[in-house]
């Protein structure tokens, strides 16, 4: 019986056995990378909202403080989505016949919720609390990015556990003086290292071991 | 031939196993638990909200304590001790909730007023200088004119802090030099602005605009 394969195919056979290890290795790496990609974390992807609400306009152009709408951010785990009445504080007069605010007026008239699309969604086994971060001097833009420049909000951070833990291991570089927590233009100064250490002591921020303990975030 | 098709079969099985393992890794069941979190939608209730409105006439725990902070519209009482801490709190809250329309200095030239919102009156006029504290409290709570009530956004204590700060703003443009501490009065005299003890010039126009604006 004649040979089906030429002698040279022996090399291909040996090579494929050898390279199989690498191919599997790459496959595993690819899966791990995919899980961290913006495709999975939804980083930098804007969401369609029922109303094209622009934070750039309200925060950047008008200079409205975060807490005007997100009233519970200092006292509660959730920052809070404002009720439609908060919109109507101004929009009962301003843009009161603009078509794109129809859903807002409809919601106010009929007492139904505007179904905003959640942008920063953490896994259900994470118990994040806004108030503790804000009251210890971690500013809004540290996690949420330059909100005052976002016409439609996107997730500026990966929200991966690694990203959380990076700061929990060493919060000092992200601690601001208390009057700058809601500032949009804060940048760490040259003395941030020194200030950070001072704030760590003043505000009695826990040790890295305590901050990275499982039950700090997972309960 | 048999070995070839078997190889293909094993290859396909391996690929399927790998991709399903990948999906299992990427999809985390525990991340999406069948429970409600704040403001999450619910198909259980007809209005689609998981958060339930309180039953009518419900009194929140701790709320009766706020009754002590209530003041009728015509009362000039101030139910809290006025100190630096309250004024600083008032300044912060004023800047958050009031300054968009009333302006940082209380002239009624905030950014929202500039954008076409009904321009609020300036605080620096006699009518509002003489208005009792309860009048401000009532307006913050229930609204006034084009302004909606802020009872949902500003708790009673903060309303009083804001009133204290508004009073400070009013005083800032209507103080007598004689009211200043001696050290400041001397400083003023040295700068040559006015003689110690003399009266400031009364404001002629109540709607006078500040040139300061927002900073």
Range(s) of the domain holding residue A209 = 55-81+116-217
Is A103 a member of any domain? Answer: no
Q: Which chain A residue lies closest to B215 (C-alpha atoms)?
A: A63
The confidence score (pLDDT) of residue B87 equals: 97
* Residue A66 and residue A27 share a domain: no
Q: What average pLDDT does range B103-131 have in this prediction?
A: 94
* Residue A60 and residue A32 share a domain: no
Q: Which residue has the higher pLDDT, A66 or B65?
A: A66
* Residue A72 and residue A23 share a domain: no
Q: What average pLDDT does range B156-167 have in this prediction?
A: 96
Is A30 a member of any domain? Answer: yes
Is A66 a member of any domain? Answer: yes
Lowest-pLDDT range, A108-112, B102-106, B197-201? B197-201
Q: Which chain A residue lies closest to B51 (C-alpha atoms)?
A: A113
Q: Nearest by CB to A90, from B18, B32, B117: name it.
A: B117
The confidence score (pLDDT) of residue B205 equals: 44
The confidence score (pLDDT) of residue A23 equals: 92
Across the interface, whether the CB atoms of B33 and A125 are under 8 A apart is answered yes
B74, B137 Cβ separation under 8 angstroms: no
The confidence score (pLDDT) of residue B18 equals: 61
Across the interface, whether the CB atoms of B100 and A31 are under 8 A apart is answered no
Q: What average pLDDT does range A206-218 have in this prediction?
A: 95
Across the interface, whether the CB atoms of B116 and A93 are under 8 A apart is answered yes
pLDDT tens-digit readout, A191-200: 999 999 999 9
In chain B, what are the domains? 67-190 (1.10.760.10)
| Beta-carbon contacts of residue A80 (< 8 Å; ≥ 6 apart) | A69, A70, A71, A72, A73, B38, B39
* Residue A176 and residue A138 share a domain: yes
The confidence score (pLDDT) of residue B210 equals: 41
> In total, how many domains does chain A have?
2
The predicted model scores a pTM of: 0.82
Q: Which residue has the higher pLDDT, B120 or B24?
A: B120
Q: What is the mean pLDDT of chain A?
A: 93
Q: Which residue has the higher pLDDT, A37 or A1?
A: A37
* Residue A200 and residue A168 share a domain: yes
pLDDT tens-digit readout, A80-121: 999 999 999 999 999 999 999 999 999 999 999 999 999 999
The confidence score (pLDDT) of residue B21 equals: 57
* Residue A125 and residue A25 share a domain: no
The DSSP annotation for A88-123 comes to HHHHTTTTTT-GGGHHHHHHHHHT----PPPSS---
pLDDT tens-digit readout, B70-96: 888 999 999 999 999 999 999 999 999
Q: Nearest by CB to B33, from A31, A77, A124: name it.
A: A124
Q: Which residue has the higher pLDDT, A154 or B29?
A: A154
* Residue A161 and residue A60 share a domain: yes
Q: Does B152 touch chain A (CB under 8 A)?
A: yes
Q: Residue B209: name the closest of B126, B130, B106 by CA.
A: B106
Is A167 a member of any domain? Answer: yes
Confidence of residue B209 (pLDDT cuts 50, 70, 90): very low
Confidence of residue B7 (pLDDT cuts 50, 70, 90): low
State the CB neighbour count (10 A cutoff) for residue B38.
Answer: 13
* Residue A181 and residue A154 share a domain: yes
Is A146 a member of any domain? Answer: yes
Across the interface, whether the CB atoms of B30 and A123 are under 8 A apart is answered yes
Q: Which residues of A touch B16 (CB under 8 A)?
A: none
Ranges of H-type helices in chain A: 9-36, 38-41, 55, 66-69, 84-91, 102-110, 130-135, 140-144, 161-169, 192-202, 208-211, 214-217
* Residue A124 and residue A63 share a domain: yes
The DSSP annotation for chain B comes to -HHHHHHHHHHHHHHHHHHHHHHHHH--GGGS-SS--TT-B-SSSTTSBSSPPPPTT---TTGGGGGGG---TT-----S---HHHHHHHHHHIIIIIHHHH-TTSSS--HHHHTTSPPPPPSSSHHHHHS-HHHHHHHHHHEETTEEP-TTTS-HHHHHHHHHHHHHHHHHTS--GGGS-HHHHHHHHHTTSS-TTPPPPPPS-TTPPPS----
* Residue A121 and residue A157 share a domain: yes
């Amino acid at each position: 019986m004649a040979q089906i394969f030429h002698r040279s195919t022996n090399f291909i056979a040996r090579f494929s056995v050898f390279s199989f290890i690498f191919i599997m290795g790459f496959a595993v790496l690819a899966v791990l990378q995919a899980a961290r990609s913006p495709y999975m974390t939804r980083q930098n992807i804007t969401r369609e909202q029922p109303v094209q609400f622009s934070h750039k306009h309200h925060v950047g152009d008008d200079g409205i403080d975060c807490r005007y709408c997100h009233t519970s951010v200092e006292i509660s785990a959730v920052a809070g989505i404002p009720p439609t009445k908060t919109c109507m504080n101004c929009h009962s007069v301003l843009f009161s016949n603009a078509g794109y605010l129809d859903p807002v007026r409809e919601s106010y008239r009929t007492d139904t919720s505007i179904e905003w699309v959640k942008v920063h969604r953490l896994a259900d086994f994470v118990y994040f609390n806004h108030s503790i971060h804000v009251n210890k001097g971690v500013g809004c833009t540290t996690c949420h990015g330059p909100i005052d420049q976002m016409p439609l909000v996107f997730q500026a951070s990966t929200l991966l556990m690694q990203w959380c833990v990076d700061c929990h291991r060493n919060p000092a570089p992200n601690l601001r003086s208390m009057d700058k927590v809601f500032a949009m233009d804060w940048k760490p100064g040259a003395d941030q290292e020194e200030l950070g250490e001072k704030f760590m002591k003043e505000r009695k921020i826990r040790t890295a071991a305590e901050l990275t303990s499982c039950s700090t975030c997972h309960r | 031939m048999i070995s070839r098709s078997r190889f293909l079969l094993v290859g396909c099985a391996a690929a399927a196993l790998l991709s399903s393992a990948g999906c299992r890794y990427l999809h985390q069941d525990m991340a999406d638990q069948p429970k409600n979190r704040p403001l999450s939608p619910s198909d259980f209730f007809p209005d689609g909200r998981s958060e339930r409105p309180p039953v009518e006439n419900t009194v929140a725990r701790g709320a009766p304590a706020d009754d002590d902070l209530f003041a009728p519209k015509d009362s000039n009482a101030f139910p809290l001790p006025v100190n630096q801490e309250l004024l600083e709190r008032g300044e912060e809250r004023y800047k958050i909730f009031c300054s968009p329309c009333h302006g940082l200095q209380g002239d009624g030239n905030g950014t929202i007023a500039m954008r076409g919102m009904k321009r609020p009156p300036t605080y620096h006029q006699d009518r509002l200088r003489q208005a009792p504290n309860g009048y401000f409290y009532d307006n913050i709570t229930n609204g006034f004119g084009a302004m909606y009530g802020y009872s949902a956004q500003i708790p009673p204590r903060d309303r009083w802090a804001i009133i204290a700060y508004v009073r400070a703003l009013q005083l800032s443009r209507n103080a007598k030099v004689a009211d200043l501490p001696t050290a400041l009065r001397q400083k003023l005299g040295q700068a040559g602005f006015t003689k110690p003890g003399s009266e400031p010039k009364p404001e002629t126009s109540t709607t006078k605009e500040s040139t300061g604006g927002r900073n």
